[in-house]
Amino acid sequence: MLDNSLFLSELGLREINQGTSTGSNWIKSNGNVKDIFSPVDGKKIASVIETDENAYEETLKISINSFMMWRKTPAPRRGEVVRQIGDALRINKSALGQLVSYEMGKSLQEGLGEVQEMIDICDFAVGLSRQLHGLTMHSERPDHRMYEQWHPLGVVGIISAFNFPVAVWSWNAMIAIVCGNVCVWKPSEKTPLSAVATQNIISDVLKKNNAEGILNLLTDCSSQLVGKKIAADKRVSLVSATGSTKMGKSVAEVVGKRLGKSLLELGGNNAMIISENANLNIAIRAAVFGAVGTAGQRCTTTRRLIIHESKYDKFKDLLVKAYSQIKIGNPLDEDYHMGPLIDRSAVKMYSDAIKSIKNDGGVALIDGEVLEGDRFGSGCYVTPAIYEVENKFRTVQNETFAPILYLIKYSELSEAIHIQNDVPQGLSSSIMTSKISEAEEFLSSIGSDCGIANVNIGTSGAEIGGAFGGEKETGGGRESGSDSWKAYMRRQTNTINYSDELPLAQGIKFDF
């Protein structure tokens, strides 16, 4: 078993940690001291001093002053700072991955994978720093040139969720700072220590490069003061928020009232269609990892399996057999597949959802239960559950952030696609099929309405090279790869007249 004290010390965590930082500078706050406990064993990890109003104001002022300098720094030079951040994360990958696993409860492999995502997005952003290009257009007026260019926005607020304590921050932050912005980060109130550790890791890079105030940290574990202030603050040009649909609607409303910009990555209710032409060996692996990985606490977790009637009974048998082999326990021990839920409130949500689905008429294939005993002393461990349902059930229409999987039968592909789309959320989706016409229909305009649509891979997980996000109540925003960098910049169209005359557009005459 790993020694927790070793990786905590390696990451510079103390018994009590300041939670407000502008890089290498930790700002003193008189906020509440919040104890953080691990869902793995229920033990206290360390404490964080929350950001108070004075610390918030000081951090914002430093951020704004830093932006005045940072926006003039050439983009390739900004990319060089990101490259160094990536190298610092490489050195600390093992320790930070262990902390993510211990503080959040995901498996060690997933914790290490999350830090690898941070490293990967740094590599992506370094290349991007030399590709922030616009377009040139032909003017209708003689001796005129038109083009567009992109400028940084200013201060970008990042509100991240507990299930990916550090990776989602990096998706936003590394792209944002390469674009010339500065960032203020409000991590989840449930996982602030991973954020404090990350700030410790990058502090030397920021100090060495005279980049203090570029990446800033604000913590709030009890009052929601910081998140509300970021959303309402006119000095914050863009708010990128990851979390529940309820939270996202609140942020969007507040940011929208001040005509600010928001980038929302919210809930998912993801389905996998298992066609009569599916390779079941692939499908079962994708379904089980999609439903059980991170204890069902990914926004891309597989929540619904829509199975062709000809494969339904066989696939049920495969699921029962596979679930019987899932080992639940301390996620820092690589012998276990699944760790705990984040806290006891999540356990209650899991139990309430199971009661609700049974009241709706759901039939248990594998009934869920809360695990007890010395090995599960934190009270946060549950078993993955499977229920046969109808898509219209109220509980099925809502996202439950837990390892609960719903089975639905279909006969025609059009019916399966309708079921897939007939929920309020629209993040991730997939189809398992070896028939190209089915795959193409699923990916067409009459197919999946999600921001992510996969063929012969699961719904869970995404590479940093593709834009990540979804439609409908998932929020519509995009993070990470592709051209999502444009969300962090303002577009400007430029026209240059290099003649000695002033012809007007559309041939308008205005002589005097």
What pLDDT digit, counting tens, does each position of 441-465 carry?
Answer: 999 999 999 999 999 999 998 899 9
Q: What are phi and psi of 202, to 5 degrees?
A: -90, -10
Q: Is the pLDDT of residue 1 over 60?
A: no
90 C-beta neighbours (distance < 10 Å), count: 14
Distance in angstroms (rounded) separating the CA atoms of residues 459 and 43: 33
Q: Is the pLDDT of residue 97 over 80?
A: yes
126 C-beta neighbours (distance < 10 Å), count: 21
- DSSP calls for 255-301: HHHTT-EEEEE----EEEEE-TT--HHHHHHHHHHHHHGGGG-STT-
CB 19 within 8 A of CB 52: no
Distance in angstroms (rounded) separating the CA atoms of residues 186 and 189: 8
Distance in angstroms (rounded) separating the CA atoms of residues 41 and 36: 12
Longest dimension (CA), the chain: 91
Specify whether 265 is catalytic. yes
Helix (H) or strand (E) holding 109: helix 108-128
Q: Is the pLDDT of residue 503 over 70?
A: yes
Mean pLDDT, the chain, rounded, equals 97
CB 393 within 8 A of CB 435: no
Nearest to 455 by CA among 467, 436, 439, 444: 439
- At 310, the amino acid letter reads S
Q: Is the pLDDT of residue 157 over 60?
A: yes
Catalytic residue among 122, 179, 183, 299: 299
Q: What pLDDT sits at residue 91?
A: 98
Q: Is the pLDDT of residue 385 over 80?
A: yes
Angle at which helices 436-443 and 413-421 cross, to 10° = 30
DSSP 140: S
Q: Is the pLDDT of residue 11 over 80?
A: yes
CA distances from 74 to 24, 131, 426 (A): 22, 12, 38
Distance in angstroms (rounded) separating the CA atoms of residues 212 and 296: 38
DSSP 338: B
Distance in angstroms (rounded) separating the CA atoms of residues 104 and 38: 7
- For the four alpha carbons of 425, 451, 387 and 332, in that order, the dihedral sign comes to negative
Mean pLDDT along residues 37-43: 97
**pLDDT 10s digits, 257-305:** 999 999 999 999 999 999 999 999 999 999 999 999 999 999 999 999 9
Q: What pLDDT sits at residue 222?
A: 87
Distance in angstroms (rounded) separating the CA atoms of residues 244 and 473: 9
**pLDDT 10s digits, 316-344:** 999 999 999 999 999 999 999 999 999 99
Tokens of 229: 């202030």
pTM for this model (two decimals): 0.97
CB 195 within 8 A of CB 219: yes
Catalytic residue among 265, 438, 473, 479: 265
318 C-beta neighbours (distance < 10 Å), count: 18
Buried b (16+ CB within 10 A) or exposed e, 49-64: bbbbeebbebbbebbe
95 C-beta neighbours (distance < 10 Å), count: 20
Tokens of 406: 């719903």
Q: Is the pLDDT of residue 188 over 80?
A: yes
136 C-beta neighbours (distance < 10 Å), count: 11
Specify whether 122 is catalytic. no
Distance in angstroms (rounded) separating the CA atoms of residues 357 and 360: 5
- How many angstroms from the chain centroid is the CA of residue 71? 26
- At 201, the amino acid letter reads I
Q: Is the pLDDT of residue 5 over 90?
A: no
Q: What pLDDT sits at residue 275?
A: 98
CB 28 within 8 A of CB 58: no
3-state secondary structure 44-73: EEEEEECCCHHHHHHHHHHHHHHHHHHCCC
